[in-house]
Amino acid sequence: MASELSTHLELGSSLTVPNVQELASAISSSEIPERYLRPEAEARVVDSIDDDELPVIDLMKLVDPELFDKEELSRLGLACREWGFFQLINHGVAKEMIEKTKNDIMGFFKLPLKEKEAFKQLPGQIEGYGQMFVHSEEQKLDWADMLTLVTKPHKDMRFWPINPSSFRDTIDKYTLKIENVVDCLYALMAKDLGIDPKVMLKNLSKQMQSIRINYYPPCKEANKVLGLSPHSDGIALTVLLQANDVNGLQIKKNNKWLLVKPKPGAFIVNIGDMLEIMTNGKYKSVEHRAVINMEEARLSIATFHLPNTDVILRPFPELINGDGELYKTISVKEYSKEYFSEKLNGKSALESMKLKK
């Protein structure tokens, strides 16, 4: 057990960077430090996704036998194959729980720096309060602070805030509910893919789970900075909750950045690199990024799900068709190490796994 714990924590590390929340409140816009200036952010081509464009999946229509709707399942399949993203509504997680989660995570970020820093990252680790993916002193920096916590298989309570006093309990309850939603989705995806749901769940269910709470301070020159660099998620499946009413998630579609506008109470679900590999490319892990608001801070909580570190990532046999396997065979641990050893850079980690055909 102890060795599994240390293995997980050794998956990555990041250089220490300034606290962006403090920086943002201390400077005027003309003083944005050079390392945060992102020329590529300025040239952003942004189309807003019409409410009905990013697929919206109604979970109730898929899990309630009386309401079961075959077309809803095709929509889920299409979303995973063509968008890599969808909104999930009627997911059964109570409104009160979502509100409590939003309040408690906001409560943490509102604390004075000193109190937050009691939970800061330690050298050589990625859990805790700080930043991730920073590997050189020259690298451009994202306009955000993060709190990363592993919820499964082992929690390291050193990094778990004690204020708000209900924080730990809230996150435990929230992540458990999210895990159940994710298991439902895995079983439905198996149906769509034509594989045995039991096999899908055996490979993916209830293994590793972690959260990343992203705090994006406002910036008067929002179009000169980036909240989160373009990336795909290096895990199997992500469930994101935008925790206040400020939009900022953009996904790349047809080489354009599209702004996601979550419906009230909806989760944004996306396919990660590991699921793309395990479906032999049938499901897509799509590049996305976060932009900054001029006036208001933005807050989101991403819940990541992936198989245990010793699992070997391989396509399900039913999905290896005429083309054979499209990706190198790699363990979860090796892939994670590769992912965390580089700055966020689009889909570069996943691209390096593709076998040339």
Minimum gap (Å) between residue 111 Cβ and Ni ion: 25
Q: CA-CA distance, 289 to 183, in Å (whole number)?
A: 26
Residue selected from 214, 229, 279, 303 as contacting ligand OGA according to rule CB under 6 A: 214
Helix (H, G, I), strand (E, B) or coil at 180: helix
Question: Which of 3, 333, 5 has the alpha carbon at shortest distance from 159?
Answer: 5
Q: Are 286 and 82 in contact (CB under 8 A)?
A: no
Minimum gap (Å) between residue 13 Cβ and ligand OGA: 18
Which residues would be at the binding site for Ni ion (CB under 5 A)?
233
Q: Residue 286 interacts with ligand OGA (CB under 6 A)?
A: no
If the CB atoms of residues 282 and 288 are measured against ligand OGA, the closer one turns out to be 288
Query: What is the phi/psi pair of residue 335, to 5°?
Result: -65, -45
Q: Are 282 and 271 in contact (CB under 8 A)?
A: no
Residue selected from 41, 274, 302, 306 as contacting ligand OGA according to rule CB under 6 A: 302
Residue selected from 17, 24, 41, 228 as contacting ligand OGA according to rule CB under 6 A: 228
Minimum gap (Å) between residue 151 Cβ and ligand OGA: 15
Q: Which residues of 304-325 are buried (b: 16+ CB within 10 A; e: fewer)?
A: bbbbbbebebbbbeebeeeeeb
Q: Residue 212 interacts with ligand OGA (CB under 6 A)?
A: yes
> Across the strands, what pairs with 231?
288, 346
Q: Residue 150 interacts with ligand OGA (CB under 6 A)?
A: no
Minimum gap (Å) between residue 214 Cβ and ligand OGA: 4
Minimum gap (Å) between residue 202 Cβ and Ni ion: 26
Q: Residue 76 interacts with ligand OGA (CB under 6 A)?
A: no
Minimum gap (Å) between residue 245 Cβ and ligand OGA: 13
Contact string 249-268 vs ligand OGA (x = CB under 6 A): x-------------------
Q: Are 279 and 203 in contact (CB under 8 A)?
A: no
Tokens of 345: 């850079």
Residue selected from 102, 288, 305, 347 as contacting ligand OGA according to rule CB under 6 A: 288
Q: Are 249 and 242 in contact (CB under 8 A)?
A: yes
Query: What is the phi/psi pair of residue 308, to 5°?
Result: -60, 155
Question: Which of 242, 202, 234, 244 has the alpha carbon at shortest distance from 340?
Answer: 234
**Binding residues for ligand OGA, total number by CB under 6 A:** 11
Q: Residue 290 interacts with ligand OGA (CB under 6 A)?
A: yes
287 binds, among Ni ion, ligand OGA, none (CB under 5 to 8 A by kind): none
Residue type, 136: S
Q: What is the DSSP string of 153-196?
A: S---GGGS--SSTTHHHHHHHHHHHHHHHHHHHHHHHHHHHTS-
Minimum gap (Å) between residue 230 Cβ and ligand OGA: 10
Residues of this chain that bind ligand OGA (CB under 6 A):
212, 214, 228, 233, 240, 248-249, 288, 290, 300, 302
